[in-house]
Amino acid sequence: MLHQLDLFGGEPFPHPEKKPIREKKEKAVVSSVSEIPKISVPDQIEEPVQLLEEAPSTPQIDAAFINIPEDAELYSKLYYPISDVAKMFNVNISLIRFWEKEFDILKPRKNRKGDRLFRPEDVKNLKLIYFLLKEKRYTIEGAKTFLKKGKKVNEQFETIELLKNIKEMLLELKAGLS
């Protein structure tokens, strides 16, 4: 009788005509509910469950991550590349490109290579768009109609920005007094 040669040093394979006998495993059959094993559950949990604190609303979180320089510093450069603008707002470059397509007030310059270069006015417009979309939670269409109102929008936005600056200044004074 011929046996297959094992090149890797293991046991030789059994002859194909001889099949190993498999043993049947018995399945557990439950005939009634009373036979199901009971699991004990403690009445009281030994360690208290710590509830998550309510997170602050997202507009406060979003506003904290904006790193837009003051006007004097912002206007010190003529153009900002899209990567710098995205870092200022802490968003992806693709989101800035998307906003550029959606909003007519954004018109960044493009160099020969096709890179977008944002003027300080464009950064200010992006700040307004960011405020409407992220902080005020407007939809894109809602923000578009809000921006079409014109001067009234810019006055409201500037007033809100001024009030935020005053609030920050007062909080710093309060912290200094403590």
Query: Which tens digits make up the pLDDT trace of 6-45?
Result: 566 655 555 556 555 565 555 556 555 566 656 555 555 4
Residue 99 lies in a domain: yes
CA-wise closest residue to 80 among 133, 112, 126 = 126
pLDDT confidence band for 156 (50 / 70 / 90): confident
Both ends of the chain: CA-CA distance in Å? 98
Residue 148 lies in a domain: yes
Residue 14 lies in a domain: no
Distances (CA, A) of 79 to 55, 57, 64, 72, 124: 37, 34, 24, 14, 13
Answer whether residue 77 shows pLDDT above 70: yes
Higher pLDDT, 6 or 145: 145
Residue 95 lies in a domain: yes
DSSP per-residue letters across 92-139: -HHHHHHHHHH-TT---EE-TT--EEE-HHHHHHHHHHHIIIIIS---
Residue 110 lies in a domain: yes
Domains contained in the chain, number: 1
Q: Give the model confidence (pLDDT) of 162-172 as tens digits.
A: 888 899 899 99
Residue 70 lies in a domain: yes
Residue 168 lies in a domain: yes
Range with the poorest average pLDDT among 26-35, 110-119, 169-178: 26-35
- Residue 142 token pair: 């809602």
- How many angstroms separate the CA atoms of 148 and 128, rounded? 13
Which CATH number goes with the domain that contains 119?
1.10.1660.10
Residue 144 lies in a domain: yes
Contact 99, 106 (CB under 8 A): yes
Q: Which residue range(s) make up the domain with 124? A: 58-173
Give strand pairing partners of 80.
Answer: 118
Answer whether residue 48 shows pLDDT above 90: no
